[in-house]
Structure 1
């Protein structure tokens, strides 16, 4: 199936305006603005916005960051700054896991947000990742939930992992606040 190479914002419906403002601190400092794709992944967007509105993402670290690939965050159970981060990346929220909402027309390009999951395609919960570079090998394997519309320069500065599989072993960057926008 043909994948579009256009910027994802051009493919999203302009009537849909739900997004996120993510304040990041650490090696990277600044605001990242995200447009969420309610028309592509309505259940995933609903889960992310619910967690954000409840303050669940505030204080959550970027626990897995792989150069030239992606930065992963969103472990609201084990990824809170100030806690024992040895299990960061293994937890989720109290909400149920979400069934996959794969797109036939969107591709994992630079700046795309995808939902992290375990081996089961229907196991996404709270964790998500932001692409540093295109990753078309993820197409049809992970749910695309949005894209960065401003602040990729901040994303590019997120501290890279130095541990196994890109884990950040000391002083990870943190989402100090995540706000739902309209």
Structure 2
């Protein structure tokens, strides 16, 4: 399913589910319209301007980039929920930093025992979201879930990764900008098709950490604004049965672990 222009207001309400920090619907509707507006407005950027924009925004000069793990190639992660497996193909070819972050956290056992704190199926199928490390503690109030990220024990700080989106036909991803804000009209290589796996973030582009979501439908209005890094290749029926409050039993890298490159390795 793909959103039509007539569903614009529904899209605004649904996108709030991806925001970190427990934002209210009213807050997101008034201040975060840009990710959805790209789906219903026609860009007037020229081919020349687009090419210039791409060349200017693929620099990996973002502070801390060199300290982030990378996935050079692909990997397979099997996530088990309520005893049933979900197989995820993680794409480090098109999203090396985002994919590397996810695989690294899987390797560290960060996702084991975490809760899916947000499940949105009404008014139409949207996302299943989890990955807040705070949710491992059952004493943490439900209204705090969705506000946390992975705290690196080496630094004591939350690891954040830049927004990373690779336009079709380009050799490198764009970092730190949505495709719309970068003036790029090409679609991304990795799109929000049903079963896509992507990173949740706040309104700041470079605020993703550990929270991720499964797309329950084709969500083209999110393309170019949120970083897709993989897809469910088996077990989507399991994803469709996840309820808010369900926990991840475990997540394991079953193939491609050798493609993960961490700083100093």
**TM-score, normalisation: structure 1:** 0.80
Alignment check: 8 A CA contact 2:128 2:242 kept: yes
CA distance in 2, matches of 1:106, 1:20: 18
CA distance in 1, matches of 2:164, 2:233: 22
Residues 1:18 and 2:75 aligned together: yes
- How much does 1:83 deviate? 3.1
Matches within 5 A, 1:1-182: 16-25=73-82, 29-67=83-121, 68-76=125-133, 78-80=134-136, 82-84=138-140, 85-95=142-152, 96-104=159-167, 105-159=189-243, 168=244, 172-182=245-255
Alignment check: 8 A CA contact 1:97 1:124 kept: yes
Moved >6 Å (runs of 4+): none
Larger radius of gyration: 2
Alignment check: 8 A CA contact 2:190 2:229 kept: no
Structure 2 gap segments, 5+ residues each? 1-42, 44-71, 153-158, 168-188, 256-265
Alignment size in residue pairs? 154
- How much does 1:16 deviate? 3.7
**TM-score, normalisation: structure 2:** 0.55
Alignment check: 8 A CA contact 2:199 2:212 kept: yes
1:112-131 deviation per Cα after TM superposition (whole angstroms, max 9, x unaligned): 00100010111111000000
Structure 1 gap segments, 5+ residues each? 2-14, 160-167
Q: Structure with the greater relative contact order (CA < 8 A, sep ≥ 6): 1 or 2? A: 1
